[in-house]
Amino acid sequence: MEREVIVVLGGSSGLVVYWRPMRGERHAFSPDRPPREGEVRSALCGTSDELVEPSDVDWLDPTCEECGRQARNLLELRQRARP
Ligand SMILES: [Zn+2]
């Protein structure tokens, strides 16, 4: 069961999450498809908004605490599933 979840979340790319700046913080997005400008997407923490093309300065925003926590969990699950 756990393994299935990991496969869905991680895809075959090896990517755990996509990071995107949104509303002053960097949020994590599910890796099933890349976040694109103009799309309304929900981050792992539940924050959702229309995505904009981030500027260089936007990338310096602090990491969303909840997204950071969830991304670490996903990475841990992934590492545990791969011997
Ligand atoms: Zn977030």
What are the pLDDT digits (tens) for 8-51? 444 545 778 999 999 999 999 998 888 999 999 999 999 999 99
The pLDDT assigned to 36 comes to: 92
Ligand 1 centre distance from Cα of residue 42 (Å): 9
Domain boundaries, the chain: 2-81
Ligand 1 centre distance from Cα of residue 63 (Å): 8
Ligand 1 centre distance from Cα of residue 68 (Å): 7
pLDDT digits (tens, 9 = 90+) for 48-63: 999 999 999 999 999 9
Ligand 1 centre distance from Cα of residue 21 (Å): 9
The pLDDT assigned to 83 comes to: 65
Nearest to 52 by CA among 17, 32, 27: 27
Ligand 1 centre distance from Cα of residue 47 (Å): 6
